[in-house]
């Protein structure tokens, strides 16, 4: 399979599994607290990734690369997972996915400041449109879905953690392969969630079979597989473009949660989500190059010559 097609397959796999994660987290949230769910998910994910890593036997990252891997492991694998689990106690799966996908704009902002890429007009307009969408979601009333102010705040925090993770991982992937980067990052996240271990043992002991199956799925699918395919694709393109690919996640999550959990988002929630996605899409547009010479000017120059 050509490299381009392998990267596309990796992106599609990531999007589908991450979209399903929002629904499964929502489904098992009544059985497991946010920290316990995160610890269980990362335990399964770390074990699955360790098996694959032992087979490949790639060298562990060192120095600056290791620092970045550990950093996004704590922020993205641990922090993001715990906060997202918490957010989905206050948001339906579709709305949570919509808020998290403000992250691509945050990536663009950081790139403009830190990497001195500036702030092109599409980025500024896109940020304003997306922020308007967040306000509309916050104003949404009761409907088939679940939305409250705390959930909105937590959803935006997950977007910040996600964006930070993408930027740090992009730097690490310059010298670390996708499997090792994912495995070490997941292990770092697991260590960060160890304080939740005692509570997780108690809750898992009383959890239903469906909840335990959900934890296993989250660890193997959206964590071990999806983060590896994400890292594989991210190593072969820029961070902003990869972050923008997750714009497909909210739509899939909304449809799946509607079909399986009966969570239909409110009308204002749909409108706000559409504005968020439109803002991110606008921010990823590249300005058309300006034509320096018009046809008339060119003719004048030729005549003068």
The number of CA neighbours under 13 Å toward the Cβ of 90 is 17
Q: Are 218 and 44 in contact (CB under 8 A)?
A: yes
| Residue 261 pLDDT | 81
The closest of 193, 19, 36 to 96, measured between CA atoms, is 19
Over the chain (305 residues), the average pLDDT of each successive run of 10 is: 74 90 92 96 96 86 94 96 94 82 76 69 78 74 62 92 90 90 95 97 95 96 94 77 69 80 77 78 65 48 50
| Residue 106 pLDDT | 80
Structure tokens at 208: 């239903």
Angle, helices 63-72 vs 178-192, to 10°: value is 60
79 vs 83: CA distance, rounded Å: 6
92 vs 147: CA distance, rounded Å: 7
| Residue 12 pLDDT | 86
| First and final C-alpha spacing in the chain | 53
Model-level pTM? 0.81
Q: Can you give 230-293 as a three-state secondary structure string?
A: HHHHHCCCCHHHHHHHCCHHHHHHHHHHHHHHCCCCCHHHHHHHHHHHHHHHHHCCCCCCCCCC
* R_g over Cα of the chain: 21
H/E segment holding residue 36: helix 34-56
């Amino acid at each position: 399979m050509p490299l381009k097609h392998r990267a596309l397959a990796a992106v599609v796999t990531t999007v589908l599994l991450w979209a399903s994660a929002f629904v499964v987290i929502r489904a098992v949230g009544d059985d497991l607290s946010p920290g316990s769910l995160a610890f269980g998910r990362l335990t399964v994910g770390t074990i699955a990734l360790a098996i694959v890593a032992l087979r490949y036997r790639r060298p562990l990252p060192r120095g600056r690369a290791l620092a970045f891997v550990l950093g996004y492991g704590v922020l993205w694998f641990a922090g993001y997972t715990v906060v997202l689990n918490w957010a989905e106690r206050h948001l339906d799966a579709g709305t949570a996915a919509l808020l998290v996908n403000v992250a691509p704009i945050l990536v663009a902002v950081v790139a403009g400041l830190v990497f001195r890429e500036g702030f092109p007009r599409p980025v500024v307009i896109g940020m304003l449109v997306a922020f308007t969408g967040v306000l509309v979601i916050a104003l949404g009333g009761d409907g088939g879905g679940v939305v409250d102010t705390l959930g909105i705040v937590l959803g935006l925090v997950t977007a910040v953690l996600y964006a930070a993770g993408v930027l740090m991982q992009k730097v690490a992937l310059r010298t670390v392969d996708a499997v090792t980067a994912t495995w070490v990052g997941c292990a770092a996240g697991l260590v960060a969630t160890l304080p939740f271990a005692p509570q997780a043992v108690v809750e898992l002991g009383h959890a239903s079979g469906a909840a335990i199956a959900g934890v296993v799925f989250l660890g193997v699918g959206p964590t071990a597989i999806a983060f590896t395919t994400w890292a594989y694709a991210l190593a072969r393109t820029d961070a902003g473009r990869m972050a923008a690919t997750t714009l497909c996640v909210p739509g899939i999550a909304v449809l799946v949660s509607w079909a399986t959990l009966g969570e239909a988002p409110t009308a204002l929630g749909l409108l706000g989500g559409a504005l968020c996605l439109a803002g991110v899409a606008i921010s990823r547009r590249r300005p058309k190059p300006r034509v320096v010479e018009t046809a008339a000017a060119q003719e004048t120059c030729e005549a003068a010559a």
